A = this chain, B = another copy of it.
């Protein structure tokens, strides 16, 4: 007998939780599609030489390699024979960005640009097992990829997508925090932090402001690693502490940065400011409410990959959760695979981790309700064909319906429905059948009513539609 268990670092859900998770996936997909993004799915494994274009580094250490039984035997015998150890032929994807780059480069001539795709699949990282860290997790990404160039306007659209998704997910009020790395770099240049590599290091430190506080950043930048003059450190801190309070305030904060720089404002600073301003204006035109976005000049995102707009999203009542949706603008998606220049902008939601955090915080609602909406109870054997007919009509009317296939005590059947989160229990005893009606017990409203058999499906539809409308 083998003990049934999953590998460590896996989040496996019970059906009721899976329904809640699936609802979140559905909301994200619906909103991605609403903005006109097209679906892409890629295989779970890629050829190792394609996936691991950047040699070494953190990422490669965390990769899972894949070998068929045959390849494994071959590898073992060549190891014994002392021949070269080469990497296994295939590896599991560790994000959706590298597969996107491969996909776009491979199918470049069959795609139309700007190419707007969404992708919602699981990715794999061999991380150290740790509470709340998963080795298999969903990413839900949207990206817009341009050929040669891509208008800054898409940066606004992507922010509107984030707003639409989290509004409909209904997990509390949130704000998309916006910044621009050109603006940051331009500002640092003016503080005599001109070397791009040093800039990147400074960016990484100021990015920690919200987590580790101003004193940490001040000490680090003034300390031996950076050795920046105290005045420069204070100017940098004053800059990265900027948060806007409203749309008008955001525009004013950008103007203030430009005014302070004056005539000497660098190209990078001017471009960054202009980009931020255009994104803000279009975000407003897209109907995103002011409360849902703000400037945060400390946001840099760790990856050097990003070159312009950067986003993070936080739940206002649960800042400890950190960013729940991040992304930004990058210069060139697929330089390893094609000579074409493919700039893009995109975001990613790490849904497995988000779901886990929301569950920890007690924020997963709707979990009480099953995807099964009605159950046809069975009181005696002879009523089976009638039960199946009632179920058939319910299903034809769009109601997800389960039938009790064996007669049990009616109390047990109600208990089962309540425990399973099924709202309606339909009963058709001899008396009801004779009168052409059924009895319905509504476990949500705790009331019972009778309805003509022909009108059962439409009646329950109306009730469910009302509940949906009230939940909005």
Contacts and interface: CB of A to CB of B under 8 A. Distances in A.
B391 A286 contact: yes
Contacts of A103: 4, 12
A319 interface: no
Given A12-B43, A15-B40, A389-B287, A33 B126 contact: no
A16 B39 CA distance: 8
Copies of this protein in the complex:
2
B395 A34 contact: yes
A105 B4 contact: yes
A69 B60 contact: yes
B33 A282 contact: no
Interface of A is mostly: mixed
A285 to B, nearest CB: 4
A372 B22 CA distance: 22
Contact of A66 (B65, B157, B339): B65
A157 B13 CA distance: 26
Interface string A80-124: 100001001110100000000111011100111010110000101
B79 A72 contact: no
Nearest to A338: B4
B401 A35 contact: yes
A414 interface: no
A62 B72 contact: no
Interface stretch (A185-193, A198-206, A260-268, A402-410): A402-410
A443 interface: no
Contacts of A406: 151, 153
A149 to B, nearest CB: 9
6 closest A-B pairs by beta carbon, nearest first, are: A36-B402, A68-B126, A15-B38, A285-B385, A4-B106, A4-B337
